[in-house]
Structure 1
Amino acid sequence: MKAAILEQANKPLIIADVALGNLGPHEVRIRTAACGLCHSDLHYIDGTVAQPMPVVLGHEASGIVEEVGSHVTRFKVGDHVVGCLSVFCGTCSHCISGNLVECSNPEVKHAPGVARRITRDGVHVGQGFNLGAFAEEMLVHENAIVKIRDDMPLDRAALIGCGVLTGTGSVIRTAKVPPGSTVAVIGCGGVGLSAIMGAKMAGALRIIAIDVLPNKLELAKEFGATDVVNAKEVNPVEAVIEMTKGGVNYSFECIGGKATAEQAIRMTGTGGTTTLMGVMPGDMMIEFSGRDLFYRQKKILGCLMGSNQFPTDIPRLCDFYMQGALPLDKMISKRIKLSEINEGFDALKGGNVARSVITFDA
């Protein structure tokens, strides 16, 4: 089968033939239907985040079950599924308390470079995010996927596996935004647009979208933003504080940058909450005022994958889409072939797309 392999940071991905290993008792083999190009993949490609190489990246994926292991009872051949990098064991203290994203059981969530499911010419290739979805097939642990309804379009379902799950979850699960709140979202890519959708679903009264690209700000309005701020034209902190007469109740940073994280904290009003969910380099330090936390009772939250419980969250988000409540059709800027993946990431770096999606039947 064909896969896109990252052999070296800041170099194009190589399309090559790879093979999957034998099916384990708790594993599932999936024919990949679609996979979104996510900024998280880009962080590994450009070397912002270290990753053992060679590796098959890709994690925002959907597909159809081809084969199940001997101990697998929740899936059968032909099931439509969505993958999620929040692989969970279901038995550790994090899992049984409902914090699936915090599971770190190495028996199911292999550290980067540990998984031995993919080979190229007999040599092991890493399985990024325990999924390796930039490939025609995936071999994954059964707790890395969830069954979805058969009438859900698989290209849109793929988006829910990461960007939509993260953005909506950051609002609903992590920050727990109540109706009537004021919200600011910094960064209007796939995750930011999803946070805007989540804020709208939560009943936020005012949703302020912040970006430097006019096309993304226009798209943000279609996803539910009530106001937009172009951070190239004005100081976004000053603009938000003036618009809200003191700052928003909730701010969300969706980029993973030092400057934008600090802006998110500063534009949050007294008693408000800042949620940081952009992927940040491990050595990045964020500066903020201790007086803000003490005297103004601001709160800063970290958010991994929307604090999701994806076995229930993803099917529900599919239902929301089918009912017309999630405008995912507008999020797909372009459908591409696996062979066009490098051009797709160039477009993502240029800020020209919300999401490009690889469709494997194209």
Structure 2
Amino acid sequence: MKTRAAILEQLNTPLVIEEVELDDPKGKEVLVKLVATGVCHSDLHCIKGDLATQPPIVLGHEGAGIVEKVGKDVTEVQPGDRVLVTVAPHCGKCPACIMGVPTSCETDPQTAMLMGTMADGTKRLRRKNGDELNHFMAQSSFAEYAVVEESATVKVREDAPLDVVCLLGCGASTGIGAVINKARVKAGSSVAVFGCGGVGLATIMAAKLVGAHPIFAVDLLDSKLEVARELGATNLVNASKDEPVMRIAAECGGGVDYSFEAIGNTEAMTQAFHSVYPRPGGMALVLGLAPIGATFSIEAWRFMREVTITGCVMGSIRPKIDIPRYVDLFMAGKLPLDKLVSAHYSLDKINDAIKDTFDGKVVRAVIAF
């Protein structure tokens, strides 16, 4: 079938809108007519060349829409279903999947990221001249239609606005799940969040939800810090004016119980770890995606105090269980995901959405079809 898609032709260049060919879904794949998709910083990382997937490529990995067609082996969704498409297709068979952490699947995401293909190693997108286009995270939702893995789909209740809950396909679930699933933050615990973009703000709203206090928000922009305050942050730190580790230590008795790095900045990763009070149980979590090969330094003596630093992919969630719960919490007014959406853009205006995201003019941009 024919569909319009936004193509990254070369690194660090505007996307080009073009009519392309999209093959039918294979055995365990699903054709989705997109209603909305978020513009995530992972898309921007790909544009900048920080990731392995190469152009020409159709980006987008926070899609939501209506199922139009399913492959012959699909059993969990059917045409007409409203679905959210996650960044985490998974095989269900590898050690990580069997352990109950499908977001760290050892086969499907690696194939999708490294090869720019679907999970089976082949592609569904082609130009009119027959040249294949790379996929992004086996989704490529910067297009009117997308063929995706059944494992990446999550059915969504009928009354949930797809142009808001699409954010749960990656960024919002990363922050929420990091607090609830990975760190398991307890009520009354102190928290610091480095970076007040979409992931960081979702982390803050989840920290408020579970009863954390105080909640420190760290960013370079006062405008984003004010949004963080609206979503639950109690202490604001502008890292362009104050050294955040010292400021947090001064205001929180030496450090916090939990810190979250939500930028992908190696200096912030060091600061996040050093902001944790050095006692057993203290934990720093790295949520941000740094460029491949990037490294950072931390003070080794802190490990003698049994402080932990760990990574967390998409909040370590179980998508088909946790995302419907997050949607219910949003609909009940407990998780104000709608406050993350600063603006909607058409597919034709996608470069404006990307620029505004790069420039920090929006918290989250959403492409609406």
SS at match of 2:199: helix
- 2:315 aligned with 1:315: no
The answer to whether the 8 A contact 1:190-1:355 is kept is yes
The Cα offsets for residues 213-271 of structure 1, whole Å up to 9 and x where unpaired, read as 11101100111111111111111111100000110000000011111111111111112
What's the offset of the Cα at 1:156? 0.6
SS at match of 2:361: coil
TM-score scaled by length of structure 1: 0.96
**Map of 2:209 onto structure 1:** 201
**Map of 1:144 onto structure 2:** 152
**Map of 2:105 onto structure 1:** 103
What percent of counterpart residues are identical?
A: 43
The answer to whether the 8 A contact 1:210-1:228 is kept is yes
Which residue, out of 276, 282, 287, partners 1:277? 287
**Map of 1:119 onto structure 2:** 126
SS at match of 1:18: strand
How far apart, in 2, do the equivalents of 1:68 and 1:50 lie?
Answer: 29
The Cα offsets for residues 162-187 of structure 1, whole Å up to 9 and x where unpaired, read as 11100001111111111110000010
The answer to whether the 8 A contact 1:108-1:141 is kept is no
What's the offset of the Cα at 1:102? 1.8
How far apart, in 2, do the equivalents of 1:269 and 1:211 lie?
Answer: 20
CA change 1:149–1:217 in 2 (3 A) is: same
How far apart, in 2, do the equivalents of 1:112 and 1:277 lie?
Answer: 23
How far apart, in 2, do the equivalents of 1:241 and 1:108 lie?
Answer: 39
The Cα offsets for residues 152-207 of structure 1, whole Å up to 9 and x where unpaired, read as 00101101111110000111111111111000001000000000011112221211
What's the offset of the Cα at 1:338? 0.7
- 2:38 aligned with 1:28: no
Residue 46 of structure 2 aligns with an amino acid whose one-letter code is Y
How far apart, in 2, do the equivalents of 1:148 and 1:11 lie?
Answer: 35
- 2:368 aligned with 1:359: yes
How far apart, in 2, do the equivalents of 1:38 and 1:105 lie?
Answer: 23
Which residue, out of 73, 78, 81, partners 1:79? 81
How far apart, in 1, do the equivalents of 2:270 and 2:46 lie?
Answer: 24
The answer to whether the 8 A contact 1:170-1:306 is kept is yes
The Cα offsets for residues 269-300 of structure 1, whole Å up to 9 and x where unpaired, read as 11211000100112111101110111x22110
What's the offset of the Cα at 1:107? 9.9
The answer to whether the 8 A contact 1:87-1:109 is kept is no
Deviation >4 Å, runs of 4+: 106-109
- 2:164 aligned with 1:159: no
How far apart, in 1, do the equivalents of 2:23 and 2:35 lie?
Answer: 20
**Map of 1:40 onto structure 2:** 42
TM-score scaled by length of structure 2: 0.95
Length, aligned pairs only: 359
Residue 289 of structure 1 aligns with an amino acid whose one-letter code is E
How far apart, in 1, do the equivalents of 2:116 and 2:334 lie?
Answer: 39
The Cα offsets for residues 117-163 of structure 1, whole Å up to 9 and x where unpaired, read as 11112111011011000000010111011101011001011011111
- 2:349 aligned with 1:340: yes
What's the offset of the Cα at 1:104? 2.4
The answer to whether the 8 A contact 1:2-1:17 is kept is yes
How far apart, in 1, do the equivalents of 2:94 and 2:275 lie?
Answer: 38
**Map of 1:225 onto structure 2:** 233
What's the offset of the Cα at 1:106? 4.5
The answer to whether the 8 A contact 2:209-2:335 is kept is no
Residue 222 of structure 2 aligns with an amino acid whose one-letter code is P
How far apart, in 1, do the equivalents of 2:88 and 2:221 lie?
Answer: 31
How far apart, in 2, do the equivalents of 1:6 and 1:55 lie?
Answer: 5
The answer to whether the 8 A contact 2:90-2:109 is kept is no
The answer to whether the 8 A contact 2:89-2:109 is kept is no
Structure 1 unaligned residues grouped into runs of 5+: none
How far apart, in 2, do the equivalents of 1:265 and 1:84 lie?
Answer: 29
The answer to whether the 8 A contact 1:112-1:129 is kept is no
